[in-house]
Structures are given as structure tokens and as C-alpha cells.
Amino acid sequence: MMDLKYGASREKPREDAAMKRFRGHRVGQFIHWGLYALPAGRWEGKDVEFAAEFLPRVAKIPQHRWEALANDFTLADFDAERWADTAVALGARYMTITTKHHDGFCLWPSAHTDFHMGNTPSGRDVLGELVAAYEARGIDVNFYYSVLDWRHPDWRFTLENDADNLAFARYLDFAMKQLVELAERYPSVKGFWFDGTWDESVKANGWWTWEVERMLKERIPGVVVNSRLRADDFGARHVDSNGLLMGDYESGYERRLPEPWDRSVAAHDWEACMTIPQASWGYHQGPWAQSTLKHPWDVVDMIAHCTSLGGNFLLNFGPRGDGSMAPAEVEIARTVGQWLGVNGEAIYGCGFAEGWEYPGWGYFTQDSSTGQVFAVVTREPASGRIRLELPTGMELVGLQLLGSAGHPFNEHPFKRLAGSVFEVDLGGATSAGPLVFALETGAITGPVAEKE
Ligand SMILES: C[C@@H]1N[C@@H](C(=O)NCc2ccccc2)[C@H](O)[C@@H]1O
């Protein structure tokens, strides 16, 4: 092992109450909202088919014209209570909000820049209103913060000379001051989600990323910090040069999940974040985005996929420029939330089912407290039957279709094929969306008859 000053702070996952709470949440609501929601992917009458929050870069918009959008950011239809209600509808247990994205605009009245909510028509403290509304509903709030800042004069992508180093040192000082400000203004925040840390300039300053994590954990005991913040002494990101995960959970899964399903991912905490349209985090009004919204059952599959490997799933919402939630995204939230209302016991507080192989037709999850195993069937085979292969030496005693207490389906819906392999006929099972079964298992105690 190399002696690292700025490497991982621990070898094993955290087991304190705050981390266990984050781990048990499993489902979060990501929100990307800022000036980019106003043009919403369209500039000078033309749709720019790229992530809406990247518009100023992709459309090469002059800085003064982008800054002028702040005058139109009236929050006419912004209501933190309604946003929080969509999180409740989704069944989200936490929410992560973009405090400052790559364009540098701050959703709070920062003392360290002039590019913030205080210099907009309403002057409202969006972060303060959101923290109050979400926490009133028992939903934890995390802050997304982009280290990358296209607007700040001292930002550098690379460090070519002493002047660059001096400027970037000023930038890191500015960003540290903003992070202290966020921790002081909103001390109930439960986590920080860092982004925009892939450039050479940040990788060459692993010490700063280590200092940020240390500062936040000193000021907010229990706070959870994602791996994406971190670089070590040698510029290694997420995982240090000794192969140890930095931060508290791995956050490299952006618009992707572990494919193929790989049990090694379950060795540490992790989270995948996902857009509802194909590839825009900020609201994009064009058909390029609006024609690619995910189906609720695809979202359910992703939630179960993450849970089965011990990860959280953070589904992104991009509110519109006036502050209203996009109706199509609210509808998806409601449908997913209704499914979680019936089947959430297979997700919340659940994780990797040790000893159970990937079944192909969905996922096994296991309640981390009770040990209860669930089968989440997200890809029903054409045969209408699923093979349940239990860990060797175990047998299936019974199964209960969630949400169907007393459903006749539970009387004798399965048969043994051999040893610990059973077949379940799904014919009689009905449910809105993917089926979930709670499995009752036991040890095989004597000789078993071969295929009946
Ligand atoms: C969580 C996401 N991370 C930011 C990001 O820059 N991702 C890399 C990216 C690079 C190119 C196009 C879209 C996204 C996106 O804007 C979201 O905030």
C-alpha cells in the first residue's frame, strides 16, 4: 500500500446511523434547476439537441447574454411545497438539488459572487425554501455542487504555468468559501454531491478535495459525501491509488447502471443517477428530449437493479423555467410511487441478496434487517414461468405476491424442478407493473423427489 496523504479515509463502508439512513433510502429525487431551464434547450429559435444545462457552451452564448437570463428568472410558478409533494408521490426518501451548476449561477444568495438568486426579480432563497418544504415531509436534502465553473475568471481546465496555478488557487479558495457558506446557512443538509471534478486542474489538487470532505464532516457530523469529489495525491479519482473508495459512496454511474449485473459492485455503497429524457438533466422543451421519456416500469427496473446490488437510485427532475414541474415527469413520479407504495418493502432498507445468483427475469433483493428475500420480476418470460434457483441446500416453502393478501395465487403456485431449483407459474398473478414476491425459504432436510 502506498502512503497517501489525500487518499481514502477508510477501507470499509461506514456503519454509523447517518450512513445507514442514506443507504436505506434507496430512492432519491435529483433536481436540476437553474437559468438553463429558461431557454430549455432552445436558442434563437433553434433546438440544440444536447443536455439543456450545457446550452451556453454548446450554443456558444456570450456570457453577458447568459447572465441576462437572471432578469427573467422570476420564479412565477415556483412552489417548494409542490416540488416536495412530487418527491412524496415518487416515494423518494431524499432529494439532491443543484445549488450551483457548471454555469456558476447560485440558487442561494451567496456572499462570494454576484451571480445568485439575490440578483433576480424575486430575490428568493430557493435552497432555504426547498430545505424547509422537503424536511417538513421527512425527506432528507442533499446539495449538488459543481466544482467546474464556466463563469468564474479564476477557473482553469488545465494548469499550464504559474499564472494558472495562482488563479486556480484563488478559485479553490472561492469554492471552499461557498461550501463553508452552504454548510453554515443550511446545517440540516444531509449530504453533498460533487460534480465537475474531471478536469486536470482539479485532479492536480487532490489536497483540496480531501480538505473539503474534512471541512464538511467537521461542520456537519454524519454528512455523506460522494466519491466524485475526490482525487488523491496522484490525481486518481473516486478510487485512490491503493484501490480504496474515497468519499462515502461511489457515484460514477451517471445515466448508466452496472451492466452486466456484477455482484462485486455490492462490495461498497454506490448510487446511480438517471435522467427521465434520454440525455438532458435540465428541462429541454424540444422533441429531441420530450420524445425519449422513460417508461415508469423501466424506472422500476432500474430501482430494483440498483437495490439488488446494494446501490441507491437518484431519478432526475428538470423543472421548467417558471418553476413548475414538468407534467410528464410528475406523472412518471406518481406511477413509480404507486408501485413503490405496494412493493416498497422489497426496496427500502433492502440490498444485495448474498448467495442468490442473478436470475435474468429480474432481481433478488434482501431486507438488510430481517433477511427476507424478494423476487422482483421486471422481465416476465414469454413462457409465463420463472425459474427460482435458491442457494444450494435451500428450498422454497412458499411465496406471497406483494399487495395481494389472500390472493388465491399463493396456494400452490410453484413446483420443484430439482434440488434447490423451482418453477413459478405467473399465470394467476396480477399487479400494476412488475410483480414482487416475498419468498419463504427453508433448509432442505431430507431427500428430495426429482422433477414432479
Ligand atoms: C449529474 C450530471 N453531470 C453533469 C455533466 O457534466 N455530466 C457530463 C456530461 C458531459 C457531456 C454532456 C452531458 C453531461 C450533468 O450536467 C449533470 O449535472
- Of the candidates 412, 451, 417, 413, the residue with the CA atom closest to the CA atom of residue 435: 413
Which positions ≥6 away from 31 have C-beta within 8 Å? 83, 95, 96, 97, 98, 316, 317, 318, 319
- Of the candidates 333, 288, 297, the residue with the CA atom closest to the CA atom of residue 87: 333
Q: Is the pLDDT of residue 265 over 60?
A: yes
Query: Pocket around ligand 1: residues whose beta carbon is below 6 Å from it?
Result: 32, 51, 53-54, 195, 254, 273, 281
CB 198 within 8 Å of CB 237? yes
Q: Is the pLDDT of residue 374 over 90?
A: yes
User: What is the ipTM for the molecules in this complex?
Assistant: 0.95
Q: Grid coordinates in use for 313?
A: 437510485
pLDDT at residue 329, as a whole number:
98
**What residue's CA is closest to ligand 1, atom 3?**
195
Q: What is the pLDDT of residues 270-280, one digit of tens each?
A: 999 999 999 99
CB 155 within 8 Å of CB 96? no
Please choose from 29, 35, 53 the residue to mutate so as to test ligand 1's pocket, defined by most ligand atoms within 8 A of CB: 53
pLDDT at residue 412, as a whole number:
58
Confidence of residue 201 (pLDDT cuts 50, 70, 90): very high
Q: Is the pLDDT of residue 58 over 70?
A: yes
Q: Is the pLDDT of residue 114 over 80?
A: yes
Sheet (strand 373-377) strand order = 350-351, 362-367, 373-377, 435-443, 394-401
Mean pLDDT of 191-202: 98
Cα dihedral: 161, 167, 170, 176 (round 10): -80
pLDDT at residue 429, as a whole number:
83
Confidence of residue 408 (pLDDT cuts 50, 70, 90): low
pLDDT at residue 452, as a whole number:
47
Q: Mean pLDDT for the chain?
A: 96
**What residue's CA is closest to ligand 1, atom 8?**
196
Please choose from 281, 288, 315 the residue to mutate so as to test ligand 1's pocket, defined by most ligand atoms within 8 A of CB: 281
44: left (phi over 0), alpha (psi -120 to 50) or beta: left
Please choose from 55, 142, 227, 254 the residue to mutate so as to test ligand 1's pocket, defined by most ligand atoms within 8 A of CB: 254
Mean pLDDT of 184-190: 98
Q: Is the pLDDT of residue 295 over 80?
A: yes
Confidence of residue 450 (pLDDT cuts 50, 70, 90): low
pLDDT at residue 446, as a whole number:
81
Q: What is the pLDDT of residues 317-349, one digit of tens each?
A: 999 999 999 999 999 999 999 999 999 999 999
pLDDT at residue 407, as a whole number:
65
Q: Is the pLDDT of residue 451 over 60?
A: no
CB 197 within 8 Å of CB 209? yes
pLDDT at residue 448, as a whole number:
78
What 3 state SS string does the chain have? CCCCCCCCCCCCCCCCHHHHHHHHHCEEEEECCCHHHCCCCEECCEECCCCHHHHHHHCCCCHHHHHHHHHHCCCCCCCHHHHHHHHHHHCCCEEEEEEECCCCCECCCCCCCCCEHHHCCCCCCHHHHHHHHHHHCCCEEEEEEECCCCCCCCCCCCCCCHHHHHHHHHHHHHHHHHHHHHHHHCCCCCEEEEECCCCHHHHCCHHHHHHHHHHHHHHCCCCEEEHHHCECCCCCECECCCCCECCCEEEEEECCCCCCCCHHHHHCCEEEEECCCCCCCCCCCCHHHHCCCCCHHHHHHHHHHHHHCCEEEEEEECCCCCCCCCHHHHHHHHHHHHHHHHHHHHCCCEECCCCCCCCCCEEEEEECCCCCEEEEECCCCCCCEEEEECCCCEEEEEEEECCCCCCHHHCCCEEEEECCEEEEEHHHCCCCCCEEEEEEEEECCCCCCCCC
Q: Is the pLDDT of residue 413 over 80?
A: no
pLDDT at residue 428, as a whole number:
76
pTM above 0.80, yes or no: yes
For residue 52, how far is its CA from the centre of ligand 1 (angstroms)?
10
Which of 91-95, 282-286, 305-309, 424-428 shows the lowest mean pLDDT across its residues? 424-428
Rounded CA-CA distance 213/224 in Å is 9
Q: Grid coordinates in use for 176?
A: 471552499
